[in-house]
Every structure is written in C-alpha cells, then in structure tokens.
Chain A
Amino acid sequence: MAPVRPAFLSLLLVVLPTAVAAADSTLSDAQQAQLEALRGEIAAQIQLQAYDLLDELVFGWTEQPVFALETPLVLADVSVPVGFGSGMQALIENHFAALIVKNPRTRVALTHCPQCTAVVVHSGARGTIVSRGVDEPEALSTAGTLSGSRHALFLDFEVEGSALVLRARITRLEPTLPILYAKTLSTSTSAPALLRSGDRLKSAAEAHQEYVDALRGRGLYLVPIRIGVRTYATGSAQVKATPFPWLQVGVEGSLSQARSWMGSFSVGFSWAPELHTGWLAQGRVSRLISGSASSLTGPDLYAFVGGSVISIHGQSALAFQDQIPDLDDLLGLLAGREPDATFGAFQLGLELRIKNRIGAGVFLESLPAMGDAPAIGDYLDLGLIQFHSLGVEVSFCF
C-alpha cells in the first residue's frame, strides 16, 4: 500500500483545486440566481413606493403649480437607486408621463428633446466642452434644438435604509442653470404604499383616510352562513350513524380590524327525510394563524375551538344512545314514538377565509357524552380527549 499513498495524494492535490473551483462556481451561480430573484422582489416593492412618491409630487403640483401658465418641460434625467438598472427608470418615466397627461392642472406639458439628454460637443471661446445637452444649454440654443423647452426636470430616487427618497428639481435652461424648484419626498418609515389612482390624485392624508375607511368598511360584525356535513366514526356495533348535513347562521365579531381574534355564535338546523330533525347552538373562538392581521387581498387561515349543544330528533338519534338499537326501539318507532338525543360537543378545526367573505373549513369534534355509545367510534384518540366526528363546511359571510 505504501507506494499507492503518494500517488493517491498527488492525484488528490491535482483534483482538489479543480473540485473546489467547481464548487465555488456552482455556489456563485446559485448566489447569483438568488440575488437576481431578490433584486426582482425588491424592485417590485420599490416600484410601488416610487409611484407613490411621484403621485405625491404631481399632486403637489396640482395644488400649487410651479408655473403660472402651461409650460413645456423636458424630463431630463431619471436616476434610480445605486445598484438598480434602467428597467426601473423606464417604468418611472412612463408613470410620470401618464400622471402629467392625466392631470392638466399641473400646468406642465412634457416635451420631447432627445438632444437634451444626448452628449453634445460645443466649441467656443472657453474651449471645447463635451457634456449632456441640459448641462450646456448654450450649445442647444446655438443648434436650435431646444424646441421651445426652457425648463428641465430631474428626478432622483435613492434608497436610504428602509426609505425611498425622491429628489425632484426643475432647472431653467439658461447659461447659469438656476434651480427654480426642488422638493424632497420620502416614504415615511414603514408606511405601506398608498396606491392612488393616477387620474384622481389625492393627498397622502386623504389616501390614508380612504385606506382606513376601506378597513372600517369591513365592519367588526359579520353574519356567517355555514353549510356543512358531520360524519361520525363507526363504533364497536354494526350500527352506523348517518352523515348529518347542517345549515348554520349566526353572528361573528372581532376585537379589532386586524381580525386576529374572532368569536361567533350560531344556531343550526339539520333535516333528513324520514330520519331526523336536528338543532344546534354553537360558539367559536378563532385565531388567525397565517399572519398578524387579516389580508385584504389574500386568503387567511384561522384555527378555531368551539363548543356546541346538539339535539337530534328522529330515527338517527338511536345511534347516539348508550345501547345498540334493539327490537323495542324499532317497535317504538312503528308506534310513533320519536327517539331523541341531546349532547354537547367540542370542536377543533381550521378555516381558510378569503377577504372575510367566503371560507372553507375542516374540523374534528369530540362528544364527551358519547364515550359509551356503541354506534359512535373515534377518528382520533389523544388519550385525554377522543374525536368522534369529522366535519367539513363552507361559509358565506354577509
């Protein structure tokens, strides 16, 4: 083995750097992909916030126009946060142009001036100057390419921590390049984008109030209508309880607009021809587990616990007795005697809600008084508690 070892080590020394380089390369690609995905995600957020700041800027111009008369304006430059590409720049330009077109009260008319942003070369008494057109208005003026535009707008976006800052300035295109107007707007810390409509701009305060009103519009109280089916596990006897359809209606309340905690009370009715008539009263407490506040746009998942009192009248009630139905029970039925059963139940379940309007739920129900009922088995036995019933339901809230 001794002569093999140096050979093996030599091979390892040759192979190892290659292997490490390959591993590095794979890792770098993976990181690159992750970085790209992350950039895309961030750009989506930044884009909304940038739109919000532009809305605020243009709304300010509609309230207090910069110019007394309608004035041609060149969008000279849009600079995006350091590290972001030109894709975002194009989106911002388009949104800004749309806002200006939809809001003539700004007294601004966007004009096209490709020479303003192009690099121009100007030779004069002071020498030859190479610069952007907007930085050297004499050159544009001499060439007659200002096309009536005497003012340039610069929009600068930068990410400062968790805030996006917009700095806008309007410069008069004359040799001294005086800045006529400048404004800094920042997304207030942690505030969500207001998403105002471009053709009905309003102040940040008004937009916030609309948001609050939309939340309040949901109301703290709802009337849920639930349609569900309960099935019961088969017990030791050969008798099986039939599935029970239920229709429930009640009232549901939440402690706050966050709807993280909800409570409900409902009454229900069940009926099957020739088999039974049932009544139910139920109370529930639900806890939102998919977030800290219910979503206006996405589904919410709630976990709930509840207690019910159920009363069954008719043949189906025989399944909820402590004994297997015998001949006496059947004779009693023929004689017109209607059996009944009243018992309590505890529920544990999950409900998926969409905008607090439609929901679907699944639950397990424990019937503590049915431990000795031979027709009722259990789906899940946790030792301390047994779940005898499994139910599904859909809810419509009004």
Chain B
Amino acid sequence: METLLIMLLMPLPVFMGRAYDPSPGIFQSKEEARNLECTRLSQAEAHERFPGQVPEPPARGTWAVTDALACTRRFMRSGERPARDEVILSSLRQTVGDITQTASALEAGELTWHVDAFYPEPAVAAKISVAARTELVERGRKVSDRVPVLAAGDIAVLWQLPPKRAYPLACARYFAQGVLTERDVFLGVMIVDARETRLHAGLCVRGEWKWLQ
C-alpha cells in the first residue's frame, strides 16, 4: 500500500508542471487549447507585463529558459458565434487596417470619405463600417458619418445584378444622382460570395469604381 502511494505521488511534480501547459493533454482538451491565443515573449517583456508571475531576468544572463508564453482565452469560444462572423470579427482590425491603408494611398487628396459595409448580418456590417471610419479618421482623413443612399428603384435593379456589375453601377448612380460629388469618395467593404470569410473593398471616386482587394 505504501509503495503504491509513493508510486502515485512520484509523478506529481510532472503533473503540476503540465497543469500550466497550454497544449492539449491531460489537463486540457483540444477544444480548450483551440480557444487560447498565445504570444511568445522575452523574459524581460513578460516580466514587464506580468511582474507578479514572471521573475526578472538574471542580470548576468542564464542558460536556462529566457522566454515566456502568454496565453489568454478568447472571449468568445469557437462555436458561440457563427463561424463566418467570428472569422471576420476576430481579424477586423488587421483587415480593415490593410483596406484603409491601401485606400488612403490611392486617394490622398482633400476629399470627404463615406463608408458603408455590405454583409448579410447587419450587426457585423455595422461593426465593419465603424472600424473602417475610425481607421480613416485616425489616418488623418476627413470622414463623414453619412451613408450615401440610392433611390428604391436603383436598389431594385442593383439587387438583381452580380456583385462585379452591381458595385460599379451603384457607384455611377451615386455620382449621377449627386449623392456623391467630385469632392467625395466612397469606400465600400463587403463579401462578394456568401461562403467566403475574406473582406473585399472598392473605392468609388468621381463615378468610377476601383476594386481594392
């Protein structure tokens, strides 16, 4: 009995170490591991961010481990939001940052920017357009919160067209109806196919539509 007890206690230090391991194993399922976002940091940076958990690096250096893996559980676990929305929202800052950077580089003049997003889920569409507007203002652009709107007849026609034709035509109609002038530029962010998880973007300037990505 005593020998059995000792044998059971012997691997305890190993298990205690494994308890903090973010990889799937005894203490963590694959699903839980997938919900972690991990970043590798140097020991100095990890000490700066987590002084209560990571000791200061030794002044004379060391041969031992000198980095740390900081893992945080994603706020929304996989499966809690629709998969497409989750992919779009998780990388929103990065994607919208890339789009606005390209758009800003193409139209550098003193123009008023208008932004709208075309996405099947209205709540997500609002998030995308807000992110794009905020990014543009932070890049020093003059941005309006007003969304250009077409007449109901135009929308009825555009609704029937494939995206490759609908957006250029909508751009032309914005200009023709005076919704957008020569001093305005419209940035549209959208998904073209309902199955895709990548955002596309286009610019409407002086009635001409340019696909950015």
Contact = CB atoms under 8 A, between A and B. Distances in A.
Interface of A: 35, 38, 42, 45-46, 79, 81-83, 135, 154, 156, 158-162, 164-165, 167-169, 171, 175-179, 181-184, 186, 188-192, 211-212, 215-216, 255-258, 289, 292-294, 296, 381-384
A182 B137 contact: yes
The 10 A-B residue pairs whose C-beta atoms are closest, nearest first, are A256-B55, A182-B137, A177-B145, A162-B72, A293-B53, A162-B37, A190-B70, A159-B75, A382-B2, A383-B2
A160 B72 CA distance: 12
Residue from B53, B75, B130, B143 having most chain A Cβ neighbours under 10 A? B75
Contacts of A169: 130, 133-134, 137, 145
B89 A182 contact: no
A192 B70 CA distance: 12
Contact of B143 (A79, A179, A192): A179
19 contacts: A82-B81, A82-B121, A82-B127, A83-B80, A135-B146, A159-B75, A162-B37, A169-B137, A169-B145, A177-B145, A178-B143, A178-B145, A179-B137, A183-B138, A184-B135, A189-B72, A190-B39, A191-B49, A216-B51
B58 to A, nearest CB: 11
Contact of B75 (A81, A212, A258): A81
A182 B91 contact: no
B51 A257 contact: yes
B51 A212 contact: yes
Contacts of B81: 82-83
B74 A176 contact: no
Interface residues of B, number: 51
Interface string B43-83: 00000011111111000000000000011111111001100
Interface string B99-128: 000000000000010000000010110110
Nearest to A82: B123
Chain A interface, >50% SS class:
mixed
Given A162-B74, A176-B112, A182-B138, A211 B133 contact: no
A358 B121 CA distance: 54
B143 to A, nearest CB: 5
Contacts of B213: none
B160 interface: no
A168 B55 CA distance: 37
Contacts of B131: 158, 167, 184
Contact of A164 (B37, B71, B75, B146): B75
A42 B134 contact: no
